[in-house]
Amino acid sequence: MNDYAQKLYLSDLLREPVIRAAIRKLQLPSGSRGLDAGCGIGSHTLLLADAVAPDGHVTGLDLSAGFLAHAREIANKSGHSERISFQQGNVEKLPFGDDTFDWAWSVDCVGLIPAKPISLLKEVARVVKPGGILAILLWSSQQLLPGYPLLEARLNATFPGIAPFVEGMNPELHFLSALGWFHKAGLNESTAHTFAGSVHSPLGDDIRKAVMSLIEMRWGDPRSEITRDDWAQYQRLCRPDSRDFILNRPDYYAFFTYSMFHGKVASVGALKA
């Protein structure tokens, strides 16, 4: 498993309760057939398959052949391989016919291509039957460095901290404006919910690694965008070999949120209008 796939795997140890809560909110019909668009290594595809068991089916789609190889391996080990399939493809031009699925779902994929969110939603809606659900989930906030709000605010203002949004972009393209996207894409009964996950000391080895991976994925290497003093503090708090490593604190507590936007697909004619 490559480095980024490993980070995804570890982060799912933290995200799973949040993702399960979001899936429960949708009340996906048992026996239904759905699409996991941008499925990555397939962790959430398995959770979706659980939700539509015993007779449902979930297709995971991703552009990365490497991620899909990991996804198939995970699915085979889970015993759910008969109810899950994976296909390589691009969410901008889905390799499925109209009205193929009862619902579609996407985590940190659809909605994170800011140049054309409405056309992406229309493309995903195209493959969902009228009246079916389309849902997207997006990372929306976090507090990972308790006691250091100024440092975390400065990290959040860096390029990786605000990505895929960039300075000067139209505010309507920020993913928290997704209710507007759903309306413009012709979806009905659109709504939004936010789900919180948390972690606190004492941390087991796997959760510890997961939080470390989450910090790396969230901010990357921000040294070119923060002051020398902030960079030194960031390293002091976030390097595992530092005596001040923040995860060693006996009172460590952190949280993060995912926001879910979902609506119902209108008729084909309404979507093309």
Which amino acid is present at 31? G
Tell me: the pLDDT tens digits for 72-94? Answer: 999 998 877 789 999 999 999 99
Q: Is 273 a residue whose pLDDT tops 50?
A: no
Under 8 Å between Cβ of 118 and 184: yes
* Strands across the sheet containing 101-107: 84-88, 57-62, 33-37, 101-107, 128-143, 253-264, 188-200
Q: Which residues of 131-146 are buried (b: 16+ CB within 10 A; e: fewer)?
A: ebbbbbbbbbebebbe
Q: Is 1 a residue whose pLDDT tops 80?
A: no
User: And the tokens for 229?
Assistant: 């003093």
Tell me: the pLDDT tens digits for 146-190? Answer: 999 999 999 999 998 988 888 888 888 899 999 999 999 999 999
**CA 52, 56, 60 angle in degrees (round to 5)?**
90
Q: Is 70 a residue whose pLDDT tops 70?
A: yes
Check whether the bond before 240 is cis (ω within 30° of 0).
no
Neighbouring CB atoms inside 10 A of 16's CB total 15
Q: Which domain holds residue 181?
A: 3-272
DSSP 3-state of 198: strand
Phi/psi at 153 (5° precision)? -65, -40
Q: What is the DSSP string of 222-243?
A: -GGGS-HHHHHHHHHHH-TTST
Rg (CA), the chain: 19
Partnered with residue 105 across adjacent β-strands are 36, 135
Rounded CA separation 211/247 (Å): 8
User: What's the total number of domains in the chain?
Assistant: 1
Tell me: the pLDDT tens digits for 29-59? Answer: 999 999 999 999 999 999 999 999 999 999 9
CATH number reported for the structural domain that contains residue 155 in this entry: 3.40.50.150
What was the pLDDT predicted at 271?
46
What was the pLDDT predicted at 268?
57
What was the pLDDT predicted at 86?
97
Partnered with residue 142 across adjacent β-strands are 256
Q: What global pTM score does this model have? A: 0.92
